[in-house]
Structure 1
Amino acid sequence: MVKEEVQQLLNQLIQIEHISTTLYLAMSAYLDRKNYTGMARWLRLQSEEERTHMLTLIDYLTGKDGIVKLSDVPQQPSDFGTPLETFESVLEHEQYVTNAYRQAYDYITQVDPQTTVIVLEFLREQIDEEAQALTIVERLKLANNTPSALLLIDQELGQRQNAGGTA
């Protein structure tokens, strides 16, 4: 059976991914309502990716005979401001998630080398997720709220094909 402290850590990561899923889904619904359908699609797929992360962690923990403890997820806002403000929130959240995985990795390497592998996999992925969010934020800054530029960015983000795809 998995050590109690490892089980707690994995449940914390599961909760972070659960929150990420609902946050990005709320952002997607908001931008869809504002007719930024490409950005909404990108965020919907990002929500699905975070859900996949959550399920992977759940499967890993249950596969080690651990106990999954799903907690309540806080209600998400229904307004996220401009597209730039929305994606600045995405970037900030991804930085938070990266930090959580970095701390988990630092701890887990000392107590459970086997679990280190899965945590490191997610930590590596966070590098890409932060980079994608930063690129989108920087492009939205360049657009400077110009409608035609926002529509081009929206169209580009709408071309994302799957939860593993990049912008």
Structure 2
Amino acid sequence: MLNEQIQKLLNNLISIEHLSTTLYLAMSAYMASKNFTGMSSWLNFQSAEERTHLLKLIKYVTDRGGTVEIQTIPAQPTNFGSPSETFTAVLEHERYVTNAYRQAVEFSTQLDQQTAAFLQDFLIEQIDEEAQALTIVDRLNLAQNNPSALILIDQELGQRAVV
């Protein structure tokens, strides 16, 4: 059975992953509307990955005898600006998620070693999440809205495949 504080912490992470999957889906739709189909595809894959995280957290809570609380999330924006602005928002969001997992691991280490170990994998994965977003932001900033460069970046991002 989960400690009440740990259950609350996990439900908070469930809310963050729920927000993440929805945010990236909204960004994907926005990029598609701007004909950046590769960026849209990348964001769609990212949304699916965040949904996988969400489902893992839900399974963990239920496996440990806890109660899952799916919270309502706010409506997502419909305009994310330029590709550079969109992916800067991705990077900022990933940093927020990393911080949430870092705090969760620190807190759970004091109360529930199993949960701390479980969450450690998410925290380690955030290294790659932030690195990918930073690479994309750096490349988009180098492109400086040059249409040819944006098309090349869009094509590259469209090649992302599920590993």
TM-score (norm 2): 0.99
**Aligned counterparts of 1:17 and 1:126: Cα–Cα separation in 2:** 12
Alignment-derived partner of residue 28 in structure 2: 28
- Counting matched residue pairs gives 163
Q: Is there any run of 5+ residues in structure 1 with no aligned partner, and where?
A: none
Alignment-derived partner of residue 52 in structure 1: 52
Deviates more, 1:78-87 or 1:111-120: 111-120
**Aligned counterparts of 2:136 and 2:161: Cα–Cα separation in 1:** 17
Alignment-derived partner of residue 158 in structure 2: 158
1:130 aligns with 2:130: yes
- Identical-pair percentage: 64
Runs (4+) of structure 1 moved beyond 3 Å? none
**Aligned counterparts of 2:161 and 2:20: Cα–Cα separation in 1:** 20
Q: Is there any run of 5+ residues in structure 2 with no aligned partner, and where?
A: none
**Aligned counterparts of 1:140 and 1:25: Cα–Cα separation in 2:** 20
**Aligned counterparts of 1:7 and 1:160: Cα–Cα separation in 2:** 35
Amino acid at match of 1:150: L
- Alignment root-mean-square deviation, CA: 0.5
**Aligned counterparts of 2:49 and 2:118: Cα–Cα separation in 1:** 16
TM-score (norm 1): 0.97
Alignment-derived partner of residue 7 in structure 1: 7
Q: Can you list the C-alpha shifts for 1:78-98, whole angstroms capped at 9, x where unaligned?
A: 000000000000000000000
**Aligned counterparts of 1:118 and 1:52: Cα–Cα separation in 2:** 15
